[in-house]
Amino acid sequence: MNKEKNRMLLVIDVQNDFCPGGSLAVHDGDSVVPVVNRLTSHFDLVVATQDWHPENHVSFVKNHPGRNVHDRIYVDGISQVLWPTHCVAGTHGADFHPALNAENFQLILRKGTHPSVDSYSAFMENDKKTVTGLEGYLKGLRIENVYVCGLATDYCVFRSVMDSVQAGFKTHVVIDGCRGVNVPQGSVDKAIETMKENGVLILHSSGLL
């Protein structure tokens, strides 16, 4: 496994708002931090993402009067789940978890920056048209294997993984380095099943260290 060449680690959204005490806290979200910290030194290339929204972002329930958190609405034909205000650009909630060691991150990619479109995936915004540039960056570096960890398993990890497969990367999920929202109930299991059906390899960090 460690002899495999051209591989990178993609760390998704390990930010204060997704950890206990944050506005969109994922149960046990901070427990991925020590796993990610152990993993980074085993990769030549580490890219981390930050969810990075403006105050008027389409995903915030406060911008849709009369709607409730977790409602699913359609905006310009795109399905959008409504969330509490989270990861507002430049705020404490958008910062990496303080115990996350960002020293070895070569690239920090911020996504979800446009008010009218959300971006769960590190590769492509939710309109499924606007790219972030990550695919081109990784292909420019001749990366073939993408290892994904972070938050949340059923949203940003899932969508990043599916786009990674779509882009032709051999894609792996370090499952103990992920935690999910599980809204709606069962969405974590469903995401894992769908990833497996699409050829994604699910592994434990102990297989990499």
Residues forming contacts to ligand VGL in the complex (CB under 6 A) are 13, 18, 51, 59, 83, 120, 151-152, 155-156
Task: Give which of Zn ion, ligand VGL, none residue 156 binds (C-beta under 5 to 8 Å, depending on kind).
Answer: ligand VGL
Question: 75 or 141, CB closer to Zn ion?
Answer: 75
CB of 150 to ligand VGL, least distance (A): 8
Q: How does strand 72-75 pair with strand 78-81? A: antiparallel
In the complex, the smallest distance separating the C-beta of residue 53 from Zn ion, rounded to whole angstroms, is: 6
Structure tokens at 141: 């570096």
- Helices and strands (H, E) in the chain, number of each type: 4, 8
Q: Of these partners, ligand VGL, Zn ion, none, which one is at the site of residue 13 (CB under 5 to 8 Å by kind)?
A: ligand VGL
Question: Is residue 5 among the annotated active site residues?
Answer: no
Is 95 a residue of the active site? no
Q: How many C-beta neighbours within 10 Å does residue 41 have?
A: 12
Is the preceding peptide bond at 152 cis, omega within 30 degrees of 0? Answer: yes
151 binds, among Zn ion, ligand VGL, none (CB under 5 to 8 A by kind): ligand VGL
Q: Which residues contact 94 (CB under 8 A, 6 or more apart)?
A: 15, 16, 17, 50, 51, 52, 53, 87, 88
- Chosen residue from 10, 11, 26, 51 binding Zn ion by CB under 5 A: 51
Question: Quick one: tokens of 14?
Answer: 């390990």
Nearer to Zn ion, 7 or 159 (CB): 159
Kindly name the residue from 13, 51, 118, 154 that is annotated as catalytic.
Answer: 13
Active-site residue, selected from the candidate residues 19, 87, 149, 156: 156
| Residues listed for the chain | 209
Residue 63 CB, nearest approach to Zn ion (Å):
13
- Strand 107-111's sheet: what is its strand order? 107-111, 45-51, 7-12, 145-151, 170-179, 201-203
User: Residue 87 catalytic?
Assistant: no
Give the residue nearest to Zn ion (CB): 51
- The whole-angstrom separation of Cα 10 and Cα 103 is 14
Report the nearest approach of Zn ion to the CB of residue 20 (Å). 17
Catalytically annotated residues = 13, 111, 156
Which residues lie near Zn ion (CB under 5 A)? 51
